[in-house]
A = this chain, B = another copy of it.
Amino acid sequence: MSAPLKIAVAGLGTVGAGLVKLLASQAALLEARCGRRLVVTAVAARDRHKQRDIDISKFAWFDDPVEMARSADADAVVELIGGADGPAKALAEAAFARKRHVVTANKAMLAHHGAALAAAAERAGVTLGYEAAVAGGIPIVKALREGLAGNRIQRVYGILNGTCNYILTVMRESGRSFADVLADAQKMGYAEADPSLDVDGVDTAHKLAVLASLAFGTAVDFDAVSVAGIRNVSPMDLEYAGELGFRIKLLAIGRRTAKGIEQRVHPCMIPAETALARVDGVFNAVMVDGDFAGNTVYVGRGAGQNPTASAVASDLVDLARGARSPAFGVPAAKLAKLEAAPMAEHRGRYYIRLMVRDQPGVIADVSAALRDERVSMESMLQRGRSETKAVPVVLTTHETVEAAMLRALDRIGRLDSVIEPPCMIRIEEL
């Protein structure tokens, strides 16, 4: 039996407490699986005396997580503080400086500093583990880095934010507005008091930047992600989506194209009969297209105390077993610079909803704008009629270039008869 793996845990919030509980309740199982014990030796959090449902009296206490990373009796430091910079990053750097492994659930930090941290880990000869940073309990990092390591990945995409998926699911089922459903989700603890990281797509984009690096062997490049959230999705669009045979999901899509790597996060219309369309509520789903494995799908709980603790534990088990892989699949020095495919050159189909004055000639004006940009209409719906109120006109296009679509929409938006900014949702072929 080897010496125990000594673990210092920074951050005792939901996930940190979950991890401490997991390591206690699965101690025998983990010892059998690793051939050694996994023991928490030290913890750091903001308030030592906060009421917690875990007993921390046996662990060395540190007020300062960075100091803990430096001087605790530990082989690995688990970072569960969060935030792209600040103590989380300082802690990781301090751990690497002392040749300690780092396991983190911090997608923001990885999205902004992933390649640099991977390089620092390699210089120190230790590991940067982050299974918990993407898709919670789903072992998708391991699947990409190891399980699919024989594949050139063409595309990785999915639903990576349970809060948005939950809100869109409830909006569709209830017909209620975004603001209304968000307020309820906040009350129930499914959304944060400040929901913007989630609903504006930023959290999803952090995760996509990490997955894309792993999938394509490129340095994490958060700035190259095109991001739009779900604030502007209206019940009306969800209803039209249903009529047209679609569901609306906030998707993260990373894709190799002839023009470079596409990384985008935005609401998508996807065919209602696809597996992804049926992933509802707080679940996450990731799909990967590999050139040998084909399309593989991974579904599970994307957040929460226990699923996230499970992911952290899997990284710790790898450390305890001595299994080592480069953080992003190849050594940091071999990560290519990500050549970003410009969104303006994205090709796809589009759903457009206009709110118009119901008067003769509107459709002719809209059609002319599309024609002039060579955007080909696939379908058009004008249901309601009203002499006084705006009525919706919904259309879908055949495949076209985004730049042309945007130019046409700009012209359409300036028509007198169009009285709200047009709503555009990309239709995604899966």
Contacts and interface: CB of A to CB of B under 8 A. Distances in A.
B310 A292 contact: yes
Interface of A: 18, 22, 26, 29-30, 32-35, 131, 136-139, 142-143, 146-152, 217, 275, 278, 290-301, 304, 306-307, 309-314, 316-318, 321-326, 329-331, 334
Query: Oligomeric state, in number of copies?
Result: 2
A-B CB proximity, top 7 nearest: A139-B147, A150-B313, A137-B293, A296-B300, A292-B310, A323-B323, A297-B299
Contact of A131 (B147, B312, B321, B324): B147
Contacts of A299: 275, 296-299
B314 A149 contact: yes
Nearest to A320: B149
A296 B137 contact: yes
Nearest to A290: B310
Task: Give the one of A29, A131, A309 with max B CB within 10 A.
Answer: A29
10 contacts: A26-B292, A137-B290, A137-B292, A139-B148, A143-B147, A148-B310, A292-B313, A293-B301, A293-B310, A294-B300
Given A33-B149, A139-B146, 11 more contacts: A30-B150, A35-B331, A137-B296, A139-B143, A142-B146, A150-B312, A278-B278, A293-B300, A296-B299, A297-B297, A297-B300
Contacts of A312: 150
A147 B142 contact: yes
A324 B330 CA distance: 18
A271 B293 CA distance: 29
Nearest to A300: B296
A134 to B, nearest CB: 12
B33 A296 contact: no
Contacts of A33: 149, 326, 329-330
A292 B316 CA distance: 15
A86 B267 CA distance: 55
Contacts of A292: 18, 22, 26, 137, 306-307, 309-310, 313
Contacts of A35: 326, 331
A26 B152 contact: yes
B298 A298 contact: yes
A306 B291 CA distance: 8
A142 B148 CA distance: 10
A50 to B, nearest CB: 23
Among A146, A292, A300, residue most surrounded by chain B Cβ atoms (within 10 Å): A292
Given A294-B307, A296-B300, A32 B217 contact: yes
A306 B293 contact: yes
Given A137-B292, A292-B306, A293-B310, A324 B326 contact: no
A325 B32 CA distance: 12
A147 B317 CA distance: 9
Contact of A275 (B26, B136, B278, B291): B278
Nearest to A147: B139
A298 B297 contact: yes
